[in-house]
Structure formats: structure tokens, C-alpha cells
Amino acid sequence: MNVNPDRVSQMEEQDKRIEQKLKNIQYRIAVFSGKGGVGKSTVAVNLAYALLTKKLKVGLLDADITGPNIPQMVGLSGMPDMMDQHQILPQIKEGLRVISIAPMIPKDQPVIWRGPLRSGTISQFLADVVWDELDMLVTDLPPGTGDEVLTVSQKMHPQLAIIVTTPQEVSLIDCRRAVNMAKKLNIPKIAVVENMAGLICPHCGETIDFFGVGGGEQMAMDMDVAFLGRIPMEQQSRECGDNGTPLVLQYPQSVTAKAFVLIAEEISKLLKAGQQS
């Protein structure tokens, strides 16, 4: 097998830039799930804004290269600015610094890339995005346990993996796989968030356990990982995701927004406890 020396040199140089960038980011969080459809991106966006309400400097990296929808969910449009070949400025929305490939591809066009190209894009973001100093960088990964998860783990070295699940068993099966992958990747802290834990009726306010409740918490206990909390469903959750205004900002007094804020507090405690140990 022939190895291109120039290519090796470029990769080594990129790794040096990544290492330098990581020195300015105190905590790095990877949000992923064993399967799609569990509201992982919604959780990542609202947790990022909930952390922002704690007076922290927060960045959000959209690492779902083939299904990037973070800009839509936070209400961003336009291209990020480039300072030079290796200096990409994140877009900023309500204080949150965001980077995604979505603005860089034609609307409605699929990203038909094999794993190395997807991983290469994530590596470029980690190496070249000018985050400045951050308290926390939240990374939204695609569902499953593919190349993107490996790349983020190996290049970004997250201190915390947050696995998003719904309470139903079909989701928990895949969530267990995701937890075990995080363990194999030696991510120091692993935690579970139970999303869609009950539907709050917009008319009477009663909670309907549409997908059941408690499955994520029990699974976290069985697998000896942290449980951060459960997030109910409200009608506003869907509306906010579609109109680009995160629930935490638009309906801060809602039950769901308060759940995100409580989970953000648990994240801070978990990370600080890891630092002290």
C-alpha cells in the first residue's frame, strides 16, 4: 500500500490544530443515540441553550453530516464566514456559537458521502472553527454507532457522552448498544437522558405516558451509568423545532424547558465531579 507523504503531513498538521483548539474548550460533550427518531437533535439544541442560561460560553457542533438540521432548529441561515483557509467563524444565534455543514450544501440535496469524507469534515470543523474560549462544546452526532461517533471520540476526546433514548423497549435496545460503545471508547462519563417521557395534554395539562415512562432510568441503573433526567413532550416542542426558536428560549416557563434546565445543572455537576476526582 502506497502512502502519500504529503497527505500524512497534512493530517499531522490538522491534528496539531485540533489539539490547540481543544486547549481552549473546558468541557466537551457528545450527544448521540442508538437509533433515530428519539429527539436527539432537539435534546442537543435545548441543552446547549440551557447551559447558556447558566452564563457559560457554549458551542454547538452539528456532526450529523448526512442529515444536518441544527441550523433549521436554531433559526440560522447564510454561510459561516472564513477568515482564511484554516479559520472558519461559527455562526452565532442568541449567544450560542454554531457550526454545521448544512449552509454549505445546496438546499434539499443529499450528502452522499462515504465514511472517510464524513469523518474528514468533522475533523476539519474541530481543527479550523474559531470557537475562541468555550466552557462547553456540545456535539450532535447522527444516530447509530458509525464513523462519526468514532471520529468525535478519537479526535475531540469528550469527557461526557449523553445517550438519548425514549422509554420504550425498542429504543432501549439500541440505547444499550450506544452505552456499551461509549464504554469501549473509554469516554470518562456516560449518562442517559429519557426523552418523550410522557405527553402533556395541551387542554387539561395531564401527562399521558404515550411511550411508557422510566425505561431509560432503569436501563441507566442496570448499566451503571448516570441518569440525567426525563423530558416530557409538549406541543410547543414541535413548533419550536420547526420555527427555529428553541423551546428553552421561547417558553422558558414550560415543563419541558424546566426539565432541560435541570438536566443542564446535572451535567455541570457531573463534569465538575469528574474534574475533582
78-106 pLDDT tens trace: 899 888 878 999 999 999 999 999 998 88
Given this model, what pLDDT does residue 167 score?
85
Q: What percent of the chain has pLDDT over 70?
A: 97
* Confidence label for 111 from pLDDT (cuts 50, 70 and 90): confident
* Confidence label for 275 from pLDDT (cuts 50, 70 and 90): low
- The 10s digit of each residue's pLDDT in 152-201 is 999 999 999 999 998 887 788 889 999 999 999 999 999 999 998 877 77
Residue 276 has pLDDT above 60, yes or no: no
Given this model, what pLDDT does residue 15 score?
94
Domain count, the chain: 1
Residue 1 has pLDDT above 70, yes or no: no
Residue 277 has pLDDT above 60, yes or no: no
Q: What is the dihedral of CA 261, 220, 168, 176, to 10 degrees?
A: 120
Q: Among the listed ranges 32-41, 95-104, 115-124, 250-259, which one has the minimum average pLDDT value?
A: 32-41
Distance CA 225, CA 143 (A): 20
Given this model, what pLDDT does residue 2 score?
58
Residue 146 has pLDDT above 50, yes or no: yes
Look-up of cell digits 442496570: 222
Which residue type, as a one-letter code, is found at position 194? E
CATH number at residue 53: 3.40.50.300
Q: How far is CA 19 from the centre of its chain?
A: 20
- The 10s digit of each residue's pLDDT in 27-56 is 999 999 988 889 999 999 999 999 999 999
**237 lies in which domain range?**
5-276
The β-bridge relationship of strands 134-140 and 160-165 is: unpaired
Average pLDDT score, the chain: 90
Q: Do residues 30 and 158 touch, judged by C-beta distance below 8 A?
A: yes
**Range 211-232 average pLDDT:** 89
Given this model, what pLDDT does residue 96 score?
97
Look-up of cell digits 490544530: 17
- The 10s digit of each residue's pLDDT in 130-139 is 999 999 999 9
Most confident of 81-85, 164-168, 229-233, 262-266: 262-266
Burial of 5 (0-12, 13-18, 19+ CB in 10 A): exposed
